[in-house]
């Protein structure tokens, strides 16, 4: 149920559905690989939603979307029932990169110096990046909104603010968009890591998506190729280009 890092205990929660057996095998393999102990969030499966549950969520969201976002909120509620100061929330299709354990320790150490009330996104393996992400090979925290919700860290103050807001407001969007809206409204800061630590199996074609209708139209090979293409053009190539420019400038100074 928890991972020990630095001098704190980090609870780990996995958003999943009771019937997603292949995803369970996947996340349990990852947990064994990285020595993670976690707790599934079983509450709010789509078929188990009550009229009271649905009353918390706009009719714009179908049952699968309502289930997912309620599970993300439930993970934060579970965290607040512990004595821990921070928690890690994962979706069951998350793919953690090989550098995850070492990078996680670095991120947690950096977060110690940040003011309470934050969310730190660890994923985004194929997201677009700007100049701030290209400045260094070191893992850094950059103030930037969450783009998907496969892997993120939260702290107590941030969760308390979110749940207080959600107690009085209707949920009208998917988890990542909701987290953006609420954090901006209540004054939480969102960070992204300069070097992604994770991505989504439903983006790479490893798993069928249950939430993204446009992605569901394509087969796994197409999704895998598109993921690697986007990763190359949005992250790998800009990083290489930035390094090449730096080398060229150094060489030109050497000849001047």
CATH code: domain of residue 124: 3.90.550
- Model confidence at 159, pLDDT cuts 50, 70, 90, reads very high
Based on the structure, what is the number of domains in the chain?
A: 1
Could you give the C-alpha distances from 162 to 10, 69, 170, in angstroms and in order?
Answer: 19, 13, 12
Q: What is the pTM of this model?
A: 0.88
Enter the DSSP assignment of 171. B
Residue 240 Cα to chain centre, angstroms? 25
Question: Given pLDDT bands bounded at 50, 70 and 90, which one contains residue 254?
Answer: low
Mean pLDDT of 142-171: 97
Per-residue pLDDT band for 35 (boundaries 50, 70, 90) equals very high
Considering only residues 208 and 52, tell me which one the structure prediction assigns the higher pLDDT.
52
CB-CB contact of 2 with 9 (8 Å)? yes
Phi, psi of 135, deg, nearest 5: -75, -15
Q: State pLDDT tens for residues 55-65.
A: 999 999 999 99
Domain that holds residue 160: 2-255
């Amino acid at each position: 149920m928890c991972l020990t890092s630095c001098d704190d205990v980090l609870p780990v929660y996995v958003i999943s559905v009771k019937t997603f057996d292949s995803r369970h095998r996947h996340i349990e393999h990852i947990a064994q690989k990285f020595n993670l102990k976690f707790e599934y969030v079983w509450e709010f499966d789509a078929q188990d939603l009550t009229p009271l549950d649905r009353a918390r969520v706009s009719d714009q969201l179908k049952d699968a979307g309502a289930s997912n976002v309620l599970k993300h909120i439930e993970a934060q509620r579970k965290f607040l029932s512990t004595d821990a100061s921070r928690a890690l929330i994962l979706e069951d299709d998350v793919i953690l990169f090989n550098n995850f354990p070492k990078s996680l320790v670095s991120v947690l150490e950096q977060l110690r110096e940040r003011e309470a009330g934050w969310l730190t996104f660890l994923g985004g393996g194929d997201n677009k990046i700007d100049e701030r992400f290209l400045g260094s090979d070191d893992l850094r925290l950059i103030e930037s909104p969450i783009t998907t919700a496969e892997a993120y860290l939260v702290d107590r103050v941030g969760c308390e603010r979110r749940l207080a807001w959600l107690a009085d407001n209707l949920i009208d969007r998917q988890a990542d968009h909701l987290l953006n809206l609420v954090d901006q409204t209540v004054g939480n800061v969102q960070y992204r890591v300069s070097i992604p630590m994770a991505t989504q199996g439903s983006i790479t074609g490893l798993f069928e998506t249950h939430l993204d209708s446009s992605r569901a139209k394509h087969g796994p090979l197409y999704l895998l190729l598109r993921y690697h293409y986007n990763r190359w053009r949005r992250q790998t190539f800009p990083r290489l280009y930035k390094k090449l420019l730096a080398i060229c400038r150094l060489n030109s100074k050497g000849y001047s």
